[in-house]
Structure 1
Amino acid sequence: MVALLSVLRERGQVPLSDLAAEFGASAATIRRDVALLAAQGLLERTHGGARPGKRGGELPVHLRDGHNQLAKQYIARGVAAMIPAGRHAIGLTGGTTAAEVMRQLRNRGDLTIITNSLTIGLEAADLGMARVLMVGGVLRRSSLELVGSLAEQTLKLVNIGTAIVGADGLSVDAGLTTHDEVEARTNLALIERAQRVIVACDSSKIGHAMLAKMADLSQVQVLVTDSGASDAQLDQLRVTGLEVRVVQLPAED
């Protein structure tokens, strides 16, 4: 389904017959997938086809897990290696890359996990992590994050050693960006409570800007991304003073 949405974003309106040919699927399968995505507001059905939805292209969290998964795993390993030994509080925004970082830290019984993500909080508990602090707030359905003034007020009461932040876009001009303004403000509250901020995002986000600004690059100490990002893009980021760490992905066969 992620691939189907990508085709619509690239081409605009596409006939169902073309989508079926593109993915080697039956007409019935394509109609079913289009209907499911339309029900979630991710695309609009047209006569005999489909076109991108009006909600800005944000995927629900349950559809993001398989997207650039290998890169996210390598990035998460790199971020996890940067967390100091001993008792430490880490703040995690929502998102699949931040969730992968938490999984890489599952054997660290000396950590306190602070998050506004239901997905990360519940999985941290399932993994047996000793201390998990969930930030309250209004549930944002597409990302399963708790956001808003209650979440921001709660974050003002905690001290975070390292914040691990995901982003939907990161660029020199726009800084860190995401799809939703309320979510951006909540993530900024977490960033402002941290002694060190690490942005963990795959190369597909570099050079892009979404609707809502989360933070300036000056509020971030380290970016960890994968080798799919261009040297020119990364050099531009380094000029701002941002430390950029690149994890090398295995070569494709």
Structure 2
Amino acid sequence: DDSIIIASGTTVLAFARCIRPIHRLTVISASIQVSETLAANESIDVVQLGGSLRTSSLSVVGKYAESPLAEFSCSKLFLGVDGIDLDFGITTTDIREADLNKIMMHTAQKTIVLADSSKFRRRGFSKIANMDEIDLIITDEGISDKIANRIEELGIELTVVPVTQKQ
């Protein structure tokens, strides 16, 4: 019985594949792959944003993706990023995607960044947000203790999950 936003990217697509709601769930997404994955579950109502298609990520961007978000309120945004620099903030490689992500953040009550440990100390081309706008980061055990401690000092909740090898 929740409404969430799932942005685009390979990490959030992997997350979407794991969603098993107990009750009804409404998901708004810019990712065609996320929407397609979730559409197979009858307990999930999917709202696919429109807009200009980015063929590299099969996601939408632009004003037609952004404008419907003003009409919604969601509890959480699950956001994939291309870089996390603790001084600069979170980034992506595409300006239009950064703009859409900013609007998604305003639509959601809580911003959750899903990023593997390789994304730390990296910067993408376009800034999405400052670190103080992030509520929770979920990453893998490859994160250094120094970075983990700094994230917690910034007041950001951090969840570190073990990496499992696929057989």
TM-score, length basis structure 1: 0.62
**In structure 1, what is the Cα distance between the partners aligned to 2:37 and 2:81?**
20
1:146 aligns with 2:39: no
Letter in 1 for 2:129: A
1:194 aligns with 2:113: no
1:120 aligns with 2:25: no
- Higher share in strand: 2
Paired position in structure 2 for 1:213: 127
Unpaired stretches in structure 1, ≥5 consecutive residues: 1-86
Paired position in structure 1 for 2:143: 229
- Percent identical residues: 33
Map Cα deviations across residues 7-53 of structure 1 (whole Å, 9 max, x no partner): xxxxxxxxxxxxxxxxxxxxxxxxxxxxxxxxxxxxxxxxxxxxxxx
CA shift at 1:99, angstroms?
Answer: 1.4
- Higher share in helix: 1
CA contact (8 A) 1:171 1:207 kept: yes
Runs of 4+ residues deviating >2 angstroms: 106-109, 126-130, 248-251
CA contact (8 A) 2:21 2:44 kept: no
Which has the higher mean CA deviation after the structures are superposed, 112-121 or 233-242? 233-242
Map Cα deviations across residues 189-210 of structure 1 (whole Å, 9 max, x no partner): 1111111111111001011111
Larger Rg: 1
CA contact (8 A) 1:148 1:182 kept: yes
Q: Residue 71 of structure 2: SS of its match in structure 1?
A: coil
C-alpha change, 1:235 and 1:219, in structure 2 (3 Å) is: same
1:242 aligns with 2:162: no
The structure, 1 or 2, with the larger RCO (C-alpha pairs under 8 Å, 6+ apart) is: 2
CA contact (8 A) 1:171 1:237 kept: no
Q: What is the number of equivalent residue pairs in this alignment?
A: 165
**In structure 1, what is the Cα distance between the partners aligned to 2:89 and 2:43?**
32
TM-score, length basis structure 2: 0.92
RMSD: 1.5
